[in-house]
């Protein structure tokens, strides 16, 4: 019973720690932790969970960084197009 309460409080504390993060930081953290968990699981099957977790974390960090850069480029392109659209005069009726 005590372990369930402890795990619940630990989970709540970990989730609330992400509240002040930027979207970039959230993307990279979730990519790293998810890939580390998957790498640990695959590594445990292969015989070395620590090495699998390390490889998974590194891969997840790089992948989530590249994804974040892509999302930022999309956001910049959207904002640029929005600004250009607002600067053009409205079409007049013939």
- Average predicted confidence (pLDDT) for the chain: 84
Question: Which residues, other chains included, contact 37 with Cβ-Cβ below 8 Å and sequence gap of 6+?
Answer: 53, 56
pLDDT over 70 at 19, yes or no: yes
Residues in the chain, total? 94
Single pTM value for the model = 0.68
Evaluate whether residue 60 is within a structural domain: yes
Does residue 43 lie in a domain region? Answer: yes
Query: Which is higher by pLDDT, 91 or 15?
Result: 91
pLDDT value for 64 = 93
Domain residues for the domain of 53 are 21-86
CA nearest 41: which of 59, 27, 55?
Answer: 55
Does residue 2 fall inside a structural domain?
Answer: no
Reported confidence tier of residue 6, pLDDT bands at 50, 70, 90: low
Residue 15 lies in a domain: no
More confident residue, 82 or 1: 82
Asked whether residue 91 is domain-assigned, the answer is no
Is 4 within a domain?
Answer: no
Q: What confidence score (pLDDT) does residue 70 get?
A: 96
Mean pLDDT (whole number) for 7-29 = 75
In a domain? residue 61: yes
d(CA 13, CA 91): 54
User: How far is residue 41's CA from residue 21's CA, in Å, rounded to a whole number?
Assistant: 27
Residue 1 lies in a domain: no
Q: How many domains does the chain have?
A: 1
Angle 40-43-45 (CA atoms, 0-180°, nearest 5)? 115
């Amino acid at each position: 019973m005590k372990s369930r309460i402890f795990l619940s409080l630990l989970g709540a504390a970990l989730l609330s720690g992400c509240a002040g993060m930027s979207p970039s930081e959230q993307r990279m953290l979730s990519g790293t932790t998810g890939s580390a968990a998957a790498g640990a699981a695959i590594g445990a099957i292969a015989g070395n969970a620590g090495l699998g977790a390390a490889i998974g974390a590194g891969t997840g960090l790089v992948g989530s960084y590249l994804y974040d850069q892509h999302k930022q480029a999309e956001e910049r392109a959207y904002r640029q197009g929005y600004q250009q659209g607002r600067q053009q005069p409205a079409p007049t009726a013939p």
